Amino acid sequence: MDEYVSGLECCLGRARVGVPIEAVGQLIEYEAAPLPLSRPWVRGVAFHQGRVIVSVGLVGSLGPGKVKGIVLEVAGAKVWWVLEVTEVLKFVRARVHEARPTAANTRLPSWVSGATTDDGRVIGWLHAEVLARRFSEIDDIGTVE
């Protein structure tokens, strides 16, 4: 992609990741209950404003207590997908690198690619629709209705 897009730059532990502006619903604090036997990166579930939220984190557990997160705007989602963040930094403009397929030797999920900011830094870039689609799949059998 050659065009600049706008996003919200956040810290996830020490990593910096951009979330596209159109995918940012709300910034919230919540307490998530751990979810045993969940998929990698699913940290827990919670209720917020009468909705079920699924807490997704790229770094180790943020510990007990309140968690900060970004509610992701995902068309047709029946639950709120929330990306756990350590800190929200600033608005950025970036050129997004092409999303890549999942590879066994990568530490990042397929729903995170890279981006180069207008000041030349390389950060991660979240693809919210891909995240929701990946977590809604049940292996190769089909998708959750």
Between 24 and 136, name the one with better pLDDT.
24
Q: Alpha helices, DSSP H only, in the chain?
A: 128-136
pTM above 0.75, yes or no: yes
Looking at residue 59, what is its pLDDT? 79
Domain span at residue 38 reads: 4-143
Domain count, the chain: 1
**What is the tens place of the pLDDT at every residue in 95-111?**
998 765 555 546 778 88
